Chain A
Amino acid sequence: MSDTLNPAATATTSPTRTAVTTRDVLRAARPRGKYATGGLLAAIGSALSTVALMACSAYLITRASEMPPIMYLNMAIVGVRAFALGRAFFRYLDRLFSHEAAFRQLETVRVGLLERLLPIAPAGLARSRRGSLLSTLVSDVDEMQNLGLRVIQPLLTALGVSIVAVVGVAFLSPGAALGLALALILTFALSAWAISVVAARAERSLAPQRATLLDALVDYLGALDVLVAYGAEPAARARVDAADRALTNSLVKRASGTGIAAAAIALFTGVAIAIAMISAIPVLQEGGLSGPGLAVLALVPLAVFEVVANVPLALGAWRQVRSSAERIANATDAERVADVPAEVGLTELVPVADADLLTLSNVAIRHPGATEPALRIDALSIGAGESLLIEGPSGAGKTTLAHALVRFIDYSGSIRLQGVELSDLHPDTVRNEIGLCEQVPYLFDEDIRQNLLFAHDTATDRDLEVILDQVGLGDWMRERGGLSARVGERGALVSGGQAQRLALARALLHEFPVIVLDEPTASVEGDLATALIADLVNAARAHGRTVILISHADVAGDLFDRRLRIEAGALVSAR
């Protein structure tokens, strides 16, 4: 924050904290700027060149067959060559500009989505299955680049060329122009029907089927060892195959729809030419139309329909883009978003004199989207440097408390940090004071160094090694080949206990004045857990820091100043 110097300053930037709508996503994905405009102009230029090349060629050879002096053909010859060059040249520019524009927009879409998710994570995100989330946010965001490339631009180009061609043909024969317009309208209508009714019906089932397939694959590959050991691998495999078949079925049905649209193009090209000839031939024979004129009328529809052939593809692409946008929008959950604290508030913590470090009174905390509170705390006061143990069975609301303390979710009642109400502070400011060590620590697919450094980016390798030694990972790190050893995807190469230690190391490195440890020893072996907790609590005390340790397990010894217990959603004193 820029205004940390002013103690009373309220953060001026409040990132949007609402659920994302489909319209928002589509608006963000629409390419704009000079590249988008340049791309569209070049596309129209290329399409018009195609039509003009055909018209010029038809005129040239028919006129030539009347054997006029060659000078009457010069213009047509130049035209044929120029339009041939122009078509290729404009097409190249079109693709270059419009892709640049689409990729630039993709940047905006990705970053915009991330900026919207960040303030509401983790509580405001829809509870999606992991596979679906992967499918949604990676491929659907990629799909957004097609809005400009495959939807807007081809449609505008086809429309522009159709209008110019109909008007142009009308100068030669109003009847042929009417026929062309009629054939074009029928093509547009039939394509729209085939794409938005026939293909759309299949398309609707496509997204869930893709997600089902990916879910089945993630489940199969993620639990392969268990499935093999339990002889359940064939059944899981059958689930993958069934999902695969269902998906293929829908894809074929959709292809049938797009096939009808493409067939309409082929059919109406013939119809347009037939109508043009029926209306133009009598005029020709009455002398109202020249021979070359007739040839132009016969051949121009071929070129126009070549351009219009992109319309069904564009309509199909539009459906895909729109459903991807819907799925991106659904990644956020409006009801849950309401329970996420706003990213506003005082950016500087000004302690009230003589106030306790943390004071909770009449606090009620509920899960996001729930109506009843999961945890009530009538009164609790924690002094600076104190170490506190909160015990309670699984599901008693311990993690809810941890999430409220770091402002992932809101609370009612009062929680004061050094006399200042947490809800008056900017959540970032709160999180700079209170650090959470998660129950399931997230490790990034990087090396050990990167997984520690992001907590404290000026730390030296020596600092990191000292911390790793403190959490009992020093030898492990050296055996793995040092700080550059990778931890694997989602920490796959690190055992449960080691992941917890790394998470503890991060929390220590960041030097939070208050550290909330949510079940830090859940997967750390018993004999080391006691020593680890002792190391942590002692180190924290030496720095005058405060530790709130949440655990279902009994923690032995006299490390803690106080022991409290959560029972049936309420905080009670220790046994």
Chain B
Amino acid sequence: MRPLDPRLLRYARSIRVFLAAQTLIGLVTTACVIGFAAVLTRIVTGALDGDSLSVLGPWLGALVGVAAVRALTVWASETLSMRAAGRVKAELRGKILDATRKLGPSWLARRGSISVATLSGRGMDALDDYFAKYLPQLILTALVTPILVVVIWWQDWVSGIVVVVTLPLIPFFMALVGWATQSIQRNQWDTLGKLSRGFVDLLGGLATLKIFGRQHRQADRMRTITADYRRATMKVLRVTFLSGFVLELASSLAVAIVAVGIGLRLVEGNMVLSVGLFVLLLAPEVFLPLRNVGTNFHAAAEGVTASEDAFEILDAAAVLPEGAARAVLASADSATPGIAFVEVRAQHEADAPLAHAPLTATVAPGTLTVLSGPSGVGKSSLVGALLGFTDYVGEITRDGASLRGVPAGERDWLAWSPQRPGLTAGTIAENVTLGDDVPDPETLAWALETAAATDLDPARDLGVAGAGLSGGQAQRVGIARALYRQRRRNCAVLILDEPSSALDHATEDVLVQNLRALAATGVSVLVLSHRQAFLSGADARISLTPVSVSAAETIEVDA
């Protein structure tokens, strides 16, 4: 671990103000340390020389005064560090989310949304220790230590030599140990991540495990995982603590050598007590910030490792080109109204094999078109291509204009509901009117009715990821959301991915009739489904065939 990762300075600019303020606090702290030692030395030597309390009174007042100033800087440093930590975390979190947005949903699915959430939540919180405990001490080390060394040298060059000789040993051993633990440290963070994923997975699957009578092993499994975690961590800690031991030993022994050296010179009359006492009081303070850096090294390391994970995401996003160039509009004469696919093959991942044969088809305005095909053939990937989330070969046009390069967030003409509705915390009404700053209650009521969801209370509160609704209910809220957007933005295209898979037939029939009615108003409605109700209710049908079956797709158009 580097003391201060330059990428932190680059990615989190707010850190600079913090560094400046901490430097000021460091200077005041140094003055306090020297002042306290000088005043205390004056009091003790004065008392030994026979000064009365009345003579020493002002000095005692000064002692308490210096302590009070020191107290103030301690408080200021604490609050300032946390404020800085908050700013930097917010900045990094924001940048992670920006990067995630840029990298897109399919990258997120591979990376795992929970792991990114953990990194930007708990992972970034680990930076608190880095800012509150580690960095201030690092700055103090850079300020207090050299100034005190100069003062000690100026007062007593022999003690100065002892301090100067011992001091470099500390960063030397720290670097040595740090270099040795770096890879172990890295593994430990991975282990921790694996462990927390395992724990969450275990808790999520409790019911499943019980059904199969496998719950009894899980406690043992958890015990094994946790014991592995303990062993892995202790392996790191043994070495990490060794660096603490070296720091502690070097500083303790240096102070002891200084004390014994001063004692011996005092006894021979080569020194006066005031100098000896002053130097003795300053000596431990030289090592204190360095020792604190060492002590907090471990606490800070977790935050630094987490921030390295964050930097990886940021670096990955940084190499992606900024929004691709806008496609050129095709000439108006050749424009096909609606959506047209020409030899399109959607690719879920950049280097994944193509699952379906090239598709050439149109989704005309005013029709209910049903897209079907075997499970896993890439229907949802095709929709992803239409939405701008998924790479594809071939050409997709809307009213003759190519969709290539149009950012996903700028497809105003499109309303879509995915297979997994992707609901969020909030009321049903908030979910349905997603993306509308001024929700319209009339359209909301219409959307819920058209989605056959009149039984759901719009004011009902949902948990994270729409928790609290059954599969069928969530599905209808997702459909209502797409319908709401379609009507509010007058979208020309409505896409529903498996809208009725969790619905009963009566509800499904209502939905099909409502969608037919909507299509009749001139909207292109594309439904991905295999359900008989949709297949028989469709104006047009497109079937997507696996690549192995045939290169030729079939298009059947009913009257």
B residues within 8 A CB of A73?
Answer: 263, 267
Greatest chain B CB density within 10 A among A141, A221, A439 is at: A221
Q: Is the CB of A118 within 8 A of B215?
A: yes
- Do A229 and B465 touch across chains, with their CB atoms under 8 A apart? no
Given A131-B464, A258-B78, A492-B109, A264–B230 Cβ distance below 8 Å? no
Q: State the CA gap A523–B72 with chains docked (Å).
A: 64
Given contacts A80-B259, A215-B425, A270-B68, contact A70 B121 (CB under 8 A): no
Shortest CB distance B93–A (Å): 6
Q: Which of B370-402 contact A (CB under 8 A)?
A: 372, 374-376, 380, 387, 389
Q: Does A269 sit within 8 A of B, measured CB to CB?
A: yes
Q: Which residues of B sit under 8 angstroms from A513, Cβ to Cβ?
A: none
From the candidates A92, A134, A436, name the one contacting B242 in the complex (CB within 8 A). A92
CA distance A214 to B463 in the complex (A): 13
Complex CA–CA separation, A381 to B81 (angstroms): 70
Complex CA gap A256/B72 in Å reads: 11
A230 at the interface (CB under 8 A from B): yes
B248 contacts A by Cβ under 8 Å: yes
Q: A298-B40, A523-B501 are in contact. Are A435 and B117 (CB under 8 A)?
A: no
User: Are B120 and A92 touching (Cβ within 8 A)?
Assistant: no
A49 to chain B, nearest CB (A): 8
Contact A476 B434 (CB under 8 A): no
B269 touching A67, Cβ below 8 Å: yes
**Separation in Å of the A512 CB from the closest CB of chain B?**
9
* CB-defined contacts of B213 to chain A, threshold 8 Å: 428, 431-432
A47 and B272 alpha carbons, distance in the complex (Å): 30
A563 interface contact, C-beta 8 A = no
Given the interface pairs A241-B90, A266-B67, the reply to whether A114 lies near B218 with Cβ below 8 Å is: yes
Q: Quick check: A267 and B121 within 8 Å, CB to CB?
A: no
Asked if A64 is an interface residue, CB under 8 A from chain B, the answer is: yes
Residue from B75, B264, B532 within 8 A of A260 (CB atoms): B75
- Nearest residue in B to A289 (C-beta to C-beta)? B47
Q: Indicate whether A350 reaches chain B with its CB closer than 8 angstroms.
A: no
A103 to B236, CA, bound (A): 13
A222 on the B face (CB < 8 A): yes
**C-alpha gap A496/B420 in the complex (Å):** 8
Contacts of B105 in A (CB 8 A): 224-225, 228
CB-CB nearest in chain B for A268: B67
CA distance A235 to B200 in the complex (A): 28
- Cβ of B10 within 8 Å of any chain A Cβ, yes or no, is no
Query: A271's contact among B47, B67, B281, by CB below 8 Å, is which?
Result: B67
Alpha-carbon distance A531/B407, docked complex (angstroms)? 41
Q: List chain B residues, Cβ under 8 A from A84.
A: 252-253, 255-256
Choose among B272, B273, B505 the residue that contacts A62 (Cβ–Cβ < 8 A).
B273
Q: Which residues of the other chain, B, contact A256 by a CB distance below 8 angstroms?
A: 75, 78-79
Stretch from A362-370, A441-449, A534-542 contacting the other chain: A441-449
Contact among B266, B389, B425 for A225, CB-based, below 8 A: B389
Q: Is B74 an interface residue (CB 8 A)?
A: yes
Number of interface residues of A (CB under 8 A): 164
Using CB atoms, name the residue of chain A closest to B109: A492
A277 to B85, CA, bound (A): 41
- Residue B122 contacts which of A118, A139, A263, A285 (CB distance < 8 angstroms)? A139
Interface of B is mostly: helix
Q: Are B501 and A496 in contact (CB under 8 A)?
A: yes
Q: How far is the CA of A216 from the CA of B205 in the complex (A)?
A: 23
- In angstroms, how far is the closest chain B Cβ from the Cβ of A147? 16
B418-443 Cβ-contact flags toward A at 8 Å (1 or 0):
11111111000000001101000000
Tell me which residues from 89 to 127 in chain B have a Cβ below 8 Å from any Cβ of chain A: 89-90, 93-94, 97, 100-101, 105, 108-109, 112-118, 120-122, 125
For window 217-247 of A, CB contacts with B under 8 Å fall at 217-233, 235-237, 240-241, 244-245, 247
Instruction: Report the bound CA distance from A76 to B264 in whole Å.
Output: 11
- Distance in Å: Cβ of B48 to nearest Cβ of chain A: 5
- Are B211 and A436 interface neighbours, CB within 8 A? yes
- Say yes or no for B327: interface residue by CB 8 A criterion: no
Contact among A103, A224, A266 for B108, CB-based, below 8 A: A224
A-binding segment of B146-154, B168-176, B468-476, B518-526: B468-476
- Of all chain B residues, the one with the shortest Cβ separation from A457 is B214
| Contact B375 A104, beta carbon cutoff 8 Å | no
Which residues of A have CB within 8 Å of B206?
Answer: 117-118, 121-122, 125
B380 nearest CB neighbor, chain A only: A495
Q: Which residues of B contact A554 (CB under 8 A)?
A: 505
Q: From A139, which residue of chain B is reached at the shortest CB distance?
A: B122
- In the complex, whether A307 has a CB less than 8 A from a CB of chain B is no
B13 at the interface (CB under 8 A from A): no
Interchain CA distance A295-B259 in the complex, whole Å: 13
Residue-by-residue, is A338-361 near B (CB-CB < 8 Å gives 1, otherwise 0)? 000000000000000000000000
In the assembly, what is the distance between CA of A264 and CA of B67, in Å?
Answer: 10
Which of A100, A104, A219, A229 touches B424 (beta carbons < 8 Å)? A219
In the complex, what's the smallest C-beta–C-beta distance from A66 to chain B, in angstroms?
9
**Interface size range of chain B in the complex:** 35 or more
Task: Give chain B residues whose Cβ lies under 8 Å from the Cβ of A33.
Answer: none
What's the nearest-Cβ distance from chain A to residue B328, in Å? 24
CA distance A299 to B278 in the complex (A): 11
Within 8 A of B (CB), among A536-564: 552-554
B82 touching A251, Cβ below 8 Å:
yes
Q: A300 to nearest B CB, angstroms?
A: 12
Please determine whether A252 and B86 come into contact, CB atoms closer than 8 angstroms: yes
Cα distance, A256 to B83, chains bound together (Å) = 10
Please judge, given known A-B contacts A219-B465, A255-B82, A493-B109, whether A441 and B208 are in contact too, CB under 8 Å: yes
* Chain B residue with Cβ nearest A70: B267
CA separation between A294 and B208, bound complex, in Å? 72
Q: Which of B295-353 contact A (CB under 8 A)?
A: 353
Q: Given A263-B74, A444-B201, does the pair A552, B472 have CB atoms closer than 8 Å? A: yes
CB of A278 closer than 8 Å to a CB of B: yes
- Pick the contact of A252: B71, B83, B244 (CB < 8 A): B83
CA of A337 to CA of B277 in the docked complex: distance in angstroms? 67
Q: From A57, which residue of chain B is reached at the shortest CB distance?
A: B259
Q: Which residues of B contact A172 (CB under 8 A)?
A: none
- Of B77, B209, B409, the contact of A233 (CB 8 Å cutoff): B409
A92 touches B117 (CB 8 A): no
B100 and A221 form a contact (CB under 8 A): yes
The smallest C-beta distance from A478 to any residue of chain B, in angstroms, reads 11
Shortest Cβ distance from residue A177 to the other chain B in the assembled complex, whole angstroms: 18
Are A438 and B215 within 8 A (Cβ)?
no
- Which A residues lie within 8 Å of B504 (CB)? 393-394, 552-553
Q: Is A440 an interface residue (CB 8 A)?
A: yes
Closest to B50 in A: A285
B211 touches which one: A103, A228, A431 (CB < 8 A)?
Answer: A431
For residue B374, which residues in chain A have a CB less than 8 angstroms away from its CB?
A: 525, 528
A497 touches B375 (CB 8 A): yes
Interface presence of B238 (CB below 8 A): yes
A396-434 toward B: CB 8 Å interface, digit per residue (1/0)?
000000000010100000000000000000001001100
Contacts of A474 in B (CB 8 A): none
Interface flag for B164 (CB, 8 Å): no
In the complex, what residues of B have CB within 8 A of residue A334's CB? none
Let me know if A64 and B44 touch, CB within 8 A. Answer: no
Binary B-proximity of A32-72 (CB < 8 A = 1, otherwise 0): 00000000000000000000010011101111110110100
Q: How far is the CB of B368 from chain A (nearest CB, A)?
A: 17
Expressed in whole angstroms, the minimum distance between the Cβ of A29 and any Cβ of chain B is 13
User: How far is it, in angstroms, between the C-alpha of A121 and the C-alpha of B206 when the chains are bound?
Assistant: 6
Complex: A281 Cα to B531 Cα, angstroms: 97
Contact of B249 among A85, A132, A510, A524 (CB under 8 A): A85
- 21 A-B interface contacts by CB (under 8 A): A62-B273, A64-B276, A65-B273, A76-B263, A89-B245, A89-B249, A92-B242, A92-B245, A228-B105, A229-B414, A231-B435, A248-B90, A254-B82, A278-B53, A295-B277, A394-B470, A442-B205, A488-B109, A492-B112, A510-B212, A523-B501
Known A130-B465, A256-B75; 16 more pairs at CB < 8 Å: A81-B253, A88-B252, A99-B241, A118-B218, A130-B467, A131-B117, A222-B113, A222-B464, A227-B424, A229-B411, A229-B416, A248-B87, A252-B86, A263-B71, A436-B211, A479-B353
